[in-house]
Structure 1
Amino acid sequence: MTAARPAPSRRSRTRANGDGTIYQRKDGRWEAAGYVLAPGNTRKRVRVYGATRGDAMTKLTEKIAASNRGFPIAAADSTVSAYLAYWLDGVAVHHLRENTHTRYAASIRLHINPGLGVKKLARLTARDVRTFLDGLRTTCQCCAQGRDSVRRSCCAIGQCCGKQLSPLTVTYVHAVLKSALEHAVREDELPRNVARNVKTTTPRPRRFQPLTAAEARQLLQSAHTDRLHALYELALRTGLRKGVLLGLHWADLDLDGGTASVCRSLQRTRSAGLTHLPTKTQASERRIALPTACIRALHGHWERQEEEREGAGADWKTSGLVFTTTAGGPLDPANITRHFRGLLNRAGLRRIRFHDLRHSTATLLLEQGVDLVVIKELLGHAHIGVTASDYAHVRLRLQRQAIDTLNNALNTENDDSGDPPSAARVR
């Protein structure tokens, strides 16, 4: 009589070679372990944990997949620079826009690695991070990054320029470090995010001076004969971002219905050059109403573009874009910036950024008493708090109107009865 075979243990499940092992611990958590590529072209056994078998397996699979793509898997006993290299090229690259990834890489290369790169990740403390950030605020960056020795200037010749990082840049570097360490906590490499325990002062936002209504009219009048007149009409009357304006296609416009669909942005990236990307946030994808002046300007722009198409002949590049070069290709955002500076000079206006046209739109709408919710939808902000914080300032004239309104309400000379309101009317 053949004895019954015992049921297979959950610890004895066989897996393919290289897939690692997985089992349930006595504390109820699941532990998965496997070999991955480590710094120095070596192999290292790593362990990950999860509340369920699937959670642990997913974490291990991600590490092995990154290892197979050639990315070293940094662990807690790795240096900060080794972990940041893994996080930047193996994790963040899948969640960030290319231009944002480039800025993260620059912050790590120029600031974090020189200051904290040699420290062990597991031994990094909040004091280390605080000392590092304080150094960024007070240290001459020419000397810290070795620029003076290469250029034979600054500290190398005994004449330190004292060039320090702005508070906004220090806050940005801190945010990059926090994001990287937060991922280490999620992967159970660190028990806590020491960078999150360091509090930094919130930098004051840049005080921009939007165009007044008179300045805005002056700008549009100067742009009336400009080839890109319709672009400036849209920028000032709708508040669309520069990338969104350059990414508009004629198919996105309904000139008969007076609407425009915002669904993409034209950006220059290092790898692909000028390319279309999704809008900044999901809330940025929206349909907006077009003012009559914009519709009229777009009709004129269409006629001008048709003339340019006929003049270019076979050299015309069919792109479907609203705003193009004279040959039909996409416009470079940097060229628009230079073109805008020339327009400001011709109009006799002070120097502002192109993005300040968007701020001018919102401020002028606020001055006209437009509700903040309507401005939020027009600008495509994800939350009304963003709109409220960005445009909390009002001009002195608007403040004066508010104060005068309150004074009129409190002026007892205009009160016929002089009696306080009855309790029945107080709510």
Structure 2
Amino acid sequence: MTTPRDTPVSRRTRANGDGTIYQRKDGRWEAAGYVLAPGNTRRRVRVYDTTRKEALAKLTEKIAASNRGLPVPSAQGSVAAYLTYWLENVAIHHLRENTYTRYTAVAGLYLIPGLGRKKVAKLTAKDVRTWLNQLRTTCQCCTRRLDAGRDKPRCCAAGNCCSKRLSPLTLAYVHSVLKSALEHAVREEEIPRNVARNVRIGTPRPRRFEPLTAGEARQLLAAAQGHRLHALFELALHTGLRKGELLGLRWEDLDLDAGTAAIRRTLQRTAAGGLTTLPTKTRASERRIALPTRCVQSLKLHHEQQKREREAAGTTWQHDGHVFTTAQGRPIDPTNLTRAFITVLHKAGLRRIRFHDLRHSTATLLLEQGVELVVIKELLGHAHIGVTATVYAHVRLRLQRDAINTLSTALGSPETAETASGDGDEPPPCAALVR
């Protein structure tokens, strides 16, 4: 009598709903079963691996996801259908709310209108390249009928095309969203390769910024004297913290006796939750930084000021531990901080810059003072030192030029070299002085 144990593993009977598994003639194992598909339908999926155990694990994972109500996308479906599945069932669980909102906007404005009707399985690199080239050269005002939505058309709808094209940075962002979606399709073994990765669009130039000089930074701090957020502007210029990191600071994060601050969270406004406290941008952004003595003193004065505001507000005070708040103790909206910053800029007589340019100003001034790149990377909370090196490449290039000019002076005529080296007891300078 034959028992189940005597039956070959490839022929064992599996329970209903568990699917089937068998070994192919080429030696690979194939497992197949029915799972939930978009549109509340069911379809049969097949997975493959070199061992029975791995093939069965893959099938079990897909069936378990199906039992939880998560539909499995079909490569035979359209790009539009797959993007909708990916956004609603995958991206929403792995992205911040604001990032997810941008991904959804990119899909609705560019990906679905341009590639939505094509089949995911039949999408080629040529299709993606042709679409990107068309997107690069097409006026978005004409395509999206932006001017037609105005009360009084003044360009495209009036017959005068404004040639509103996507910037290289926006084009690269649209391309990256498509790559992310197709990469997930590859991981789910719906398509063999990510064709969007085979398309090169070139590296866009980084956004230009105008950091403050040391003199302008002093002007800004002088103009901020007496402002209720003076400590915030001083902390921003001395540490390079992001706007959300500054607004997300709590008193429990500060050790004013030791002169340190723990950066653990960021404050952002989201469409669903309003002002929301979130974890830092990346793991590297969660860090502990040293505070200059000047900032420690300003924060102590700010704490005393906050106590007076609390007494003045009385029962209307709503404080949850934030360092920088409104006069009623509520968290400060990032947009309101921007308005206050522009007011201080105007008072100081400085050109208009973004608040984020204070962060760039900190890094630029530190580089010009000869601070090591790795120290700046840790202070700013960049994930990789390559990010710091790339963003501030122009500053390093200028410092290199100054150093080379200094060396050129030292290697010039004997008289010049003697003048540069003084009495000859000191070594020649290796970097230009920053004034």
TM-score w.r.t. the length of structure 1 is 0.90
Q: 392-401 vs 382-391, which deviates more? A: 392-401
Q: CA deviation at 1:47?
A: 2.1
Conservation of the 8 A alpha-carbon contact between 1:66 and 1:90: no
Secondary structure at the counterpart of residue 268 of structure 2: strand
Change (3 A) 1:142 1:294: same
**Corresponding residue of 2:292:** 291
Q: Unaligned regions of 5+ residues in structure 1, if any? A: 417-427
**Corresponding residue of 2:205:** 204
**In the aligned structure 2, how far is the partner of 1:163 from the partner of 1:186?**
37
Secondary structure at the counterpart of residue 276 of structure 1: strand
**In the aligned structure 1, how far is the partner of 2:128 from the partner of 2:4?**
58
**In the aligned structure 2, how far is the partner of 1:20 from the partner of 1:339?**
63
**Corresponding residue of 2:267:** 266
**In the aligned structure 2, how far is the partner of 1:183 from the partner of 1:375?**
35
TM-score w.r.t. the length of structure 2 is 0.88
**Corresponding residue of 2:132:** 133
**In the aligned structure 1, how far is the partner of 2:290 from the partner of 2:184?**
42
Change (3 A) 1:358 1:5: closer
**In the aligned structure 1, how far is the partner of 2:57 from the partner of 2:92?**
19
**Corresponding residue of 2:424:** none
**In the aligned structure 1, how far is the partner of 2:308 from the partner of 2:72?**
58
Counterpart AA for 1:82: A
What whole-Å deviation, never above 9, does each CA across 1:42-74 have from its counterpart, x for those lacking one?
Answer: 222222334555654554455445545655432
**In the aligned structure 1, how far is the partner of 2:57 from the partner of 2:332?**
44
**In the aligned structure 1, how far is the partner of 2:3 from the partner of 2:214?**
90
Conservation of the 8 A alpha-carbon contact between 2:14 and 2:20: yes
Give the alignment of 1:188-337 within 5 angstroms: 188-337=189-338
**Corresponding residue of 1:10:** 9
**Corresponding residue of 2:421:** none
Counterpart AA for 1:97: R
Secondary structure at the counterpart of residue 283 of structure 1: coil
Counterpart AA for 2:195: V
**In the aligned structure 2, how far is the partner of 1:356 from the partner of 1:47?**
52
Change (3 A) 1:50 1:176: farther
**In the aligned structure 2, how far is the partner of 1:23 from the partner of 1:310?**
76
Q: CA deviation at 1:101?
A: 1.3
Q: CA deviation at 1:383?
A: 1.6
Conservation of the 8 A alpha-carbon contact between 1:71 and 1:86: no
Secondary structure at the counterpart of residue 274 of structure 1: strand
Secondary structure at the counterpart of residue 395 of structure 2: coil
Counterpart AA for 1:168: L
**Corresponding residue of 1:363:** 364
**In the aligned structure 2, how far is the partner of 1:115 from the partner of 1:5?**
55
Conservation of the 8 A alpha-carbon contact between 2:4 and 2:12: no
| Aligned CA-pair RMSD | 2.4
Q: Unaligned regions of 5+ residues in structure 2, if any? A: 419-435
Q: CA deviation at 1:305?
A: 0.5
Change (3 A) 1:310 1:86: same
Q: CA deviation at 1:392?
A: 1.2
Q: Which runs of structure 1 show a deviation greater than 3 angstroms over 4 or more consecutive aligned residues? A: 2-6, 11-32, 49-72, 146-157, 395-401
**Corresponding residue of 2:350:** 349
Secondary structure at the counterpart of residue 288 of structure 1: strand
Conservation of the 8 A alpha-carbon contact between 2:322 and 2:331: yes
**In the aligned structure 1, how far is the partner of 2:75 from the partner of 2:398?**
58
Counterpart AA for 1:209: E
**In the aligned structure 1, how far is the partner of 2:308 from the partner of 2:318?**
14
Counterpart AA for 2:300: H
**In the aligned structure 1, how far is the partner of 2:3 from the partner of 2:275?**
69
Counterpart AA for 1:44: R
Q: CA deviation at 1:295?
A: 0.3
**Corresponding residue of 2:92:** 93
Change (3 A) 1:32 1:365: same
Conservation of the 8 A alpha-carbon contact between 1:39 and 1:73: yes
What whole-Å deviation, never above 9, does each CA across 1:392-414 have from its counterpart, x for those lacking one?
Answer: 11289746632332123323516
Secondary structure at the counterpart of residue 123 of structure 1: coil
**Corresponding residue of 2:432:** none
**In the aligned structure 2, how far is the partner of 1:146 from the partner of 1:19?**
52
**Corresponding residue of 1:46:** 45
**Corresponding residue of 1:379:** 380
Change (3 A) 1:62 1:324: farther
Change (3 A) 1:22 1:355: farther
Give the alignment of 1:12-27 within 5 angstroms: 12=11, 17-27=16-26
What whole-Å deviation, never above 9, does each CA across 1:90-116 have from its counterpart, x for those lacking one?
Answer: 222222222111111111110000000
Q: CA deviation at 1:155?
A: 4.0
**Corresponding residue of 2:74:** 75
Change (3 A) 1:49 1:214: same
> Identity over aligned residues, as a percent?
69
Q: 85-94 vs 395-404, which deviates more? A: 395-404
**In the aligned structure 2, how far is the partner of 1:147 from the partner of 1:66?**
42
Conservation of the 8 A alpha-carbon contact between 2:211 and 2:361: yes
What number of residue pairs does the alignment pair up? Answer: 415
Conservation of the 8 A alpha-carbon contact between 1:79 and 1:117: yes
Q: CA deviation at 1:338?
A: 1.5
Counterpart AA for 1:225: G
Counterpart AA for 1:102: T
Counterpart AA for 2:81: A
Secondary structure at the counterpart of residue 299 of structure 2: helix
**In the aligned structure 2, how far is the partner of 1:108 from the partner of 1:164?**
17
**Corresponding residue of 2:431:** none
Secondary structure at the counterpart of residue 121 of structure 1: coil
Secondary structure at the counterpart of residue 393 of structure 1: helix
Counterpart AA for 1:235: A
Q: 30-39 vs 159-168, which deviates more? A: 30-39
**Corresponding residue of 1:419:** none
Q: CA deviation at 1:118?
A: 0.4
**In the aligned structure 1, how far is the partner of 2:19 from the partner of 2:149?**
49
Change (3 A) 1:168 1:300: same
**In the aligned structure 2, how far is the partner of 1:236 from the partner of 1:44?**
58
